[in-house]
Structure 1
């Protein structure tokens, strides 16, 4: 766990919003729209929610992925993203115990 990368990733409100969307995707997207959430949420749907360009959203997702906060899986030409709950819990525990 790289604390500095996590702090950097969480410093941006759009990236915090992405984590919220991934935590409860059914509050923001329909299952029909996404083909279910078993694989996570498709990058294209995250991009639509964020109302930003594809390159901007790609950068946000990359920063979150480098910090370890999200995971990506490729299915054909599509990338699906989900939260790394184990690392998020480890980060929360770190904050509770060190700050």
Structure 2
């Protein structure tokens, strides 16, 4: 569900595929309240406005950097997160507007 895509069946399938992985689902849950879940890591930038640094997601998850990067790319392609570059670091935050659209599409189509 790319940011420019609608809420059709194909878009929902991409969202379900992205959230069907337990680690990606966990990351989305962590990103819902980044201060609570990433408070042990010194923020590089404001977590509420730009999100959580990918290195902090990697550290918390215990997964390889390449795996976390792949997972975040999948979530981004599904339209569930937005990346922001801060210096050499990429930060991610949930796209709450898009998540609301997904919820609406689910309630309308299922």
| TM surpasses 0.5 | yes
Counterpart pick for 1:74 among 57, 62, 85:
85
- Give the 3-state SS of the residue equivalent to 2:38 in structure 1: coil
5+ residue gaps, structure 2: 1-5
5+ residue gaps, structure 1: none
- Per-residue CA deviations over 1:15-45 (Å, capped at 9, x if unaligned) read 1111111110111122761143132100000
Q: CA-atom RMSD, angstroms?
A: 1.4
Deviation at 1:9, TM superposition (A): 0.2
Separation in structure 2 between the aligned mates of residue 7 and residue 57 of structure 1, nearest angstrom: 18
Aligned residue-pair number = 99
Separation in structure 1 between the aligned mates of residue 103 and residue 40 of structure 2, nearest angstrom: 29
Separation in structure 2 between the aligned mates of residue 31 and residue 50 of structure 1, nearest angstrom: 13
- Give the 3-state SS of the residue equivalent to 1:68 in structure 2: coil
- In structure 2, the CA distance between the partners of 1:4 and 1:31, relative to structure 1 (3 Å rule), is same
TM-score, length basis structure 2: 0.83
Counterpart pick for 1:29 among 38, 50, 53:
38
Separation in structure 2 between the aligned mates of residue 59 and residue 43 of structure 1, nearest angstrom: 11
TM-score, length basis structure 1: 0.92
